[in-house]
Amino acid sequence: MDDLTIKEDVEAELQWEPSIDAAVIGVAVKDGVVTLSGRVPSYDQKMAAARAAARVRGVKAVANELEVGVPAAEERTDEDIARAVANALTWNTAIPADKVKAQVSRGWVTLEGTVEWYYQKEAAERAVRPIRGVKGVTNNIVVKPTVSAAVVKSQIEAALKRSAEIDAQRITVETRGDTVILRGRVRAEVERHEAERAAWAAPGVAKVENYIIIEP
């Protein structure tokens, strides 16, 4: 698939996504790598744009260079944002109580702490992204391993075989401590993403190195 077609498809996908104002986002494509540029009103919209672009067939990677420009009417002090972040973390039942702390500087939120599952680390970031005034999130939460590497490997391989989106026979899984290494070849970015999602879903996984190659 040529770059022009990918660009047109990415622009159409951005238009299709209701949570994005596609008119303020620029799209450039070179060798299957998509670069998003422009200024969006929230960090949540910035991440949604990247996810939308990654869904398009033929996309090999996304460089998200979108800037977050919070409208003047929505500007908040770091103290206000920190209070809203603390409440969001407390109210989210997927996040262990008192395990995640947050710092806010100039609208940028840094999350720290230790959890047992990656989905808990992800839930904490998702909880703070939509908060008004947030310009970015750094997720430094550590996932503490709870099971052996061999068990994690077998669970991931089983998950890959269950997925209708993936040809599991084309993917190999290797574990080194709390790190999972994926290799192989798939037809589209959505398969590559689904394989990585399956890896992150295993208990005790703190890092996923995705070396899967896309061959349309």
Tokens standing for 193? 């993403």
CATH topology of domain 3-68: Histidine-containing Protein; Chain: A; (3.30.1340)
How far is 109 from 171, CA to CA, in rounded Å? 36
Q: Would you state the pLDDT for residue 77?
A: 92
Of 216 and 34, the one with more pLDDT: 34
Instruction: List the alpha helices (DSSP H) in the chain.
Output: 3-16, 43-54, 78-91, 118-128, 149-162, 189-200
How far is 158 from 201, CA to CA, in rounded Å? 12
Q: Would you state the pLDDT for residue 110?
A: 97
Q: Would you state the pLDDT for residue 164?
A: 65
Region 150-164: what's the mean pLDDT?
76
The listed range with the strongest mean pLDDT (4-8, 69-73, 154-158, 197-201) is 4-8
149-214: CATH, from 2.60.40.10, 3.30.1340.30, 3.60.150.10, 3.20.20.70 = 3.30.1340.30
Q: Check whether 167 has a pLDDT greater than 80.
A: no
Is the Cα dihedral 159, 161, 164, 167 positive or negative?
positive
- Residue 211 burial (CB < 10 Å; 0-12/13-18/19+)? exposed
pLDDT per residue as tens digits for the range 30-44: 999 999 999 998 899
Identify the CATH number of the domain defined by range 74-143.
3.30.1340.30
Of 146 and 95, the one with more pLDDT: 95
How far is 12 from 135, CA to CA, in rounded Å? 26
pLDDT per residue as tens digits for the range 62-87: 999 999 887 777 788 999 999 999 99
pLDDT-based confidence at 199, cuts 50/70/90? confident
Tell me how crowded residue 29 is: count the other CB atoms within 10 A of its CB.
Answer: 23
Pairing between β-strand 179-186 and β-strand 171-176 as defined by DSSP bridges: antiparallel
Domain spans of the chain, in order of start: 3-68, 74-143, 149-214
For 14, phi then psi, to 5°, come to -65, -40
Of 166 and 183, the one with more pLDDT: 183
- Percent of residues, the chain, with pLDDT higher than 70: 96
Region 174-184: what's the mean pLDDT?
86
Give residue 5's identity as a one-letter amino acid code: T
Domain 3-68 and domain 74-143, same fold? Reply is yes
Q: Which residues pair with 109 in a beta bridge?
A: 104, 137
Residue-averaged pLDDT of the chain: 88
Region 165-189: what's the mean pLDDT?
82
pLDDT-based confidence at 205, cuts 50/70/90? confident
